[in-house]
Amino acid sequence: MAKYCVFCGNPLKNEDKFCIICGKPVLTSVKKPEKTAVEKAKDFVKDKKKLREEPAEETTIEEAVEELSEKPEKSGKKEKKKKGKKDEKEIVEKPLPFEVKEQMILNIEYNDTQLNKEILVDKLKEIQKEIKDPRYDVDPEFKKTVNIKLEAIKTLITELKQKEGELEQKLEKPFIVQRIQDDIDKKIFQLKNLSKEFKLLKVDKESFEKLREKYNQAKKEFETEKKDLTAGMKIWIKELKMEKAELQSDRNLNKGRFSAKEISEDDFKAKSKAFDLKLKKIDTKIKTLENLTK
């Protein structure tokens, strides 16, 4: 499309910025300013009014602005994220009842006393070897040291036996999980026996159906209770296994430090012994809880 100077009418080229005849600047077409969100909203409302002959409700400018500025893809993602968070909140482990936790701790303490007794018995055997040492009869200081160790271990064994007896009185046997399993087994037996009685025509159909529903419902409740308890106990076991993994890592680090000659052999042996004892105790706890979940 040909261009002309608006001042003198001289034909212009597309690249001309000034008229070569009158020297006036070439006027370029001015772009219309882009409509604001409010103006777009007004147009949007007008369009809606045209499409509706008898509109029930009038769309406000604020609503139109919101609709125009909405981005479906992003909002969809937000909704999904919110939904996901909601689902996560709904999935919550049921806390273990205080009585169950207490019994779990008592069982752990009881098995820990058994481990401590084994450790003391091993130390007692070591002292017996020292008693047989020729120095025991000729060296008063050596004899005195051995006797002090012997008396200390005898005292500890007595205390452990006393604690063991106290714990045995507090322990509920069988543990609640085993009791619930016994209840489940009883319901299974009752259901089998009921079916047998019904087949032999010893129970009428109406009574059979009512009792079967009752036993099944009770069995389901026991199974749910057991599942909730074992789920909570398995969380505790998982935490103990993590603690064990950290200890094993520390023990390996101790080996590395000894190999690099950062610590002496005596320090290495002392720390290794301490790590081994801690790992034994954690293994005892894990084994105790695993047995209680069965």
Residue with tokens 């009574």: 207
- Supply the pLDDT for residue 36: 55
CA distance 227 to 225: 5
Angle, helix 205-259 to helix 176-199, in steps of 10 degrees: 150
b/e per residue, 199-213, with b = 16+ CB within 10 A?
eeeebeeeebeebbe
Q: Which two tokens stand for residue 290?
A: 């695993």
Rg from Cα positions in the chain: 43
Model confidence pLDDT, tens digit, residues 140-149: 999 999 999 9
Mark the ranges of the chain whose per-residue pLDDT is less than 50. 29-32, 53-62, 64-92
Structure tokens at 239: 């935490």
d(CA 59, CA 198): 70
Number of Cβ atoms within 10 Å of the Cβ of 12:
18
The pLDDT assigned to 76 comes to: 47
- Structure letter (DSSP) for residue 56: S
110 contacts 162 by C-beta, under 8 angstroms: no
Give the model confidence (pLDDT) of 27-86 as tens digits: 654 444 555 555 655 565 556 555 554 444 444 444 544 444 444 444 444 444 444 444
pLDDT of residue 70: 46
In 3-state terms, what secondary structure has residue 214?
helix
User: What's the confidence (pLDDT) of residue 91?
Assistant: 40
> Which token pair is 257?
């430090």
* Cβ within 8 Å of residue 59, ≥6 positions away: 44, 45, 48
> Would you state the structure tokens that stand for residue 181, as one six-digit string?
């399993």
Residue 70 has φ and ψ, to the nearest 5°, of -70, 140
Torsion sign, CA atoms 242, 247, 252, 253: positive
pTM tops 0.75: no
